[in-house]
Amino acid sequence: MPARLQFFCRSNRGFDNMEPMKSAYELAMSRLEKSAPTVSLTEAQKLAISEVDSEINAKIAEKKIFLEGQMATATPEEKEEIRRQLVSELARLEEKRELKKEKIRSGKS
């Protein structure tokens, strides 16, 4: 197996303190970390977020089952209206999910 080449960059202090060059991805991630540091969540916050996810997933499943049941007996015009209603409901529930999660992340009950 061939040895992997490593490139080093010269620091401001000369060649004695050389570090491997970073990839474009690593550079982008370090810039992102400086501009928007990652936030560590507590176990309670993680649990609350998972509860929000499961609650919203259950509501989404409930809406899909209900509206798909209505589509079985609907006319083509009614089916189109039901599809629009389903899309609207799903978007509303996803927005609700994100608002609740953001509230948890920010520490506001």
pTM over 0.75: no
> Residue 106 corresponds to which tokens in the numbers above?
């920010």
Closest residue by Cα to residue 100 from 66, 57, 65, 68? 57
Whether 14 shows a pLDDT value over 50: the answer reads yes
Least confident of 3-12, 18-27, 31-40, 51-60: 3-12
CB-CB contact of 45 with 105 (8 Å): yes
Cα 34 to Cα 24, 28, 31, distances in angstroms: 16, 10, 5
Q: Given this model, what pLDDT does residue 20 score?
A: 80
Closest residue by Cα to residue 64 from 38, 44, 93? 93
